[in-house]
Amino acid sequence: MISQDKLSLEILISTMKRSNLDFLKPMFPKDFTNYNILIINQTEKGKELTSKYDNIRVVNSYEKGLSKSRNLALKNTKGDICLIADDDIKYVEKFDNIIKNAFNTNKNFDVLTFMMSDFEGKLAKKYNLPKQHNYKSLVKANSVTIAFKNHKVTEAKIKFDTNFGLGSTFQIAEEFIWLRSLYKANFKIGFIPKIIVQHPYESSGRFGGSDRVIAARAALFYKYSKRLAHLKLIRYIYITLKRQQIKPKDFLKKYRVGHKAINHYKAILQSKKK
């Protein structure tokens, strides 16, 4: 294991339509030029982003979708340890040391997830998690708290599912699917109860009953449960009803949204077999 001082950390930032590097300034506790950064900038021809810094690399992409951006980052990263990032977050003081130290003191883990808070210090969720993730606990990992050993992921060639994530057909769960794929491939995934990043507070209750979330959940249920997908869909809608995220009169409508999404996802999978 490389010592903490020599262990290189690279931050993999997904962003869109950037014309300069100013967006990096509020993200970091120190000058952003002190960090190794790989920027995946989804843009249009003729509007490419450039960098004059050797340690800040830019890959311009003309595709859309968060999972495609993540996959391009995986393909181009150089760091020993990589940290997944978005462009609307703010790192805490010495976040890089926290991550490097965590990998040096937890040498058996291939992937580590950390904690996130809002700008007032309120945790993003209840992190009552085991030191080593199990299948169920993976769902609580925020994408921007995931760090991993680059060579392990590169060798495994495990990519993000481009059917899921912002800008895709189903707009959530891309990080859970990716982590689950790593978990099934016998990666050791650990949890470190330390905050490394801040993000504006967003209650899941605001979105849990939305059509886009229900559609993505339904597709996710089919991805992993096949015949049980519709039963899990009904259960999920019932939970959103109990949480007052939807109204009783909307139950059937939401079920139809999920049913349609399952059929759509089935069609996508079928088309790939042809």
**Confidence band, pLDDT 50/70/90 cuts, at residue 203:** very low
Q: Strand ranges (DSSP E) for 159-222? A: 189-198
pLDDT of residue 273: 75
H/E run at residue 10? strand 9-16
pLDDT of residue 206: 55
Checking if the pLDDT of 5 tops 70, the result is no
**Helix axes 174-184 and 211-225, enclosed angle (nearest 10):** 20
Model confidence pLDDT, tens digit, residues 13-70:
999 999 999 999 999 999 999 999 999 999 999 999 999 999 999 999 999 999 999 9
Q: Residues 141, 177: contact at Cβ < 8 Å?
A: no
Residue with tokens 């952003």: 32
Pairing of strands 81-86, 146-149: antiparallel
pLDDT of residue 205: 45
**Residue 51 DSSP SS3:** coil
- Which candidate, 209, 227, 211, places its Cα nearest to that of 261? 211
Model confidence pLDDT, tens digit, residues 204-240:
445 789 999 999 999 999 999 999 999 999 999 999 9
Domains in the chain: ranges and CATH: 9-198 (3.90.550.10), 204-273 (no CATH)
Model confidence pLDDT, tens digit, residues 136-189:
899 989 999 999 999 999 999 999 999 999 999 999 999 999 999 999 999 999
pLDDT of residue 126: 87
pLDDT of residue 1: 42
pLDDT of residue 202: 63
248-269 core/surface letters (b: 16 or more CB in 10 A; e: else): eeeeeebbebbeebbebbeeee
Q: When comparing pLDDT for 250 and 3, which is higher?
A: 250
Q: Residues 115, 195: contact at Cβ < 8 Å?
A: yes
**Helix axes 66-76 and 174-184, enclosed angle (nearest 10):** 50
Model confidence pLDDT, tens digit, residues 105-138:
999 999 999 999 988 888 988 888 889 999 889 9
